[in-house]
Amino acid sequence: MSALLVLAGLGMATAHAQSTQDGGNCPQLPADAGLTWEYKASGGSDFCRALRADGSEAFGLYISRKANFEPKRGNRAEAGVIDGLSVYWYRGELATKPDVEVRETLVELPDGRVAHIWFQAEKPQLSPALTQVQSIRFPATRLSSN
């Protein structure tokens, strides 16, 4: 899965952690979400993980000049809206966790970079997880879709 490659790449010595309260260049989380950002920067890229109070990942995103995820139309799952922008979510899979749903999408940002957003949820929690992820707000409101 491309998200796992992103995680591996961010283990490089050039990456540095920032305060989870600050969020670096991460989008705005909903005030009532109970989440904090874990932020790392490497080169011209930003890696953000929305963490629950127990430290588990609610969702993540990777912002870079070039998309590290290539959506395949056959994997298109749900239509959605992020920060007023229509997007499509694409199915992924975890071979070792068949009851876990994986979703990924791309959002083009005004500065020319692309945000690759992903999350995992057990099947009964897919809809609430999708709603939570789609509640993020990017600093600039003019975005373009995938």
When pLDDT is cut at 50, 70 and 90, the band that residue 109 belongs to is: confident
Confidence of residue 12 (pLDDT cuts 50, 70, 90): very low
More confident residue, 4 or 47: 47
Which string of DSSP letters, residue by residue, matches 14-65? T-EEE-TTT-TTPPBPPTTS--EEEEEEETTEEEEEEE-TTS-EEEEEEEES
Question: How confident is the model at residue 123, as a pLDDT?
Answer: 87
Residue 22's pLDDT is 53
Q: Please determine, for residue 38, whether its predicted confidence score (pLDDT) is greater than 90.
A: yes
DSSP 122: E
pTM for the structure as a whole: 0.80
